[in-house]
Amino acid sequence: MVSILQHPLKAAAPATLDLNDEKQDSCLGRVPHQIRGFLSHFSSVQPASHAFNKCTACCPQVISRYRGNKMEFLLEVFNTADYLEKVSGLADMLENTNFSEVWDFDSDIDSD
């Protein structure tokens, strides 16, 4: 949180995709978007990727609706379970996915 507050772009600070690019750092170093910890081996990682254009938190459609009418938007989100999926386009993407073409990843596959 402190790194975000010290970054010139504040909350718009980009995720660090290139560890050698110091231009993205704040005066306190890299600004992690996520930190995932593993108690089993006492370690942590900072995964980063490009923004997903159907993210239910930060896609342009969601941000636009929120900025347009904050209270009505929030009430709709709280009262309708799939509202964010519909606004972001995630619901349409899932509806148009041909699941028979999606690989089925199974950890129980026997290796020969």
Residue 44, SS3 per DSSP: strand
Helix, strand, or coil (residue 36) = strand
pLDDT of 17 over the 60 cut: yes
**Range of 1-15, 16-30, 53-67, 98-112 with top mean pLDDT:** 53-67
Quote the pLDDT of residue 46: 81
Which helix (DSSP H) or strand (DSSP E) does residue 73 occupy? helix 70-79
- C-alpha 32/C-alpha 25 separation (Å) is 10
What percent of the chain clears pLDDT 90, i.e. is strictly above it?
40
Name the token pair of 56.
């239910």
Residue 14: pLDDT over 80:
no
pLDDT score at 78:
97
**DSSP H or E stretch at residue 43:** strand 43-45
Confidence of residue 31 (pLDDT cuts 50, 70, 90): confident
pLDDT band of residue 51 (cuts 50, 70, 90) is: confident
- Distance, in Å, from the CA atom of 9 to the CA atom of 31, rounded to the nearest integer, reads 11
d(CA 43, CA 105): 26
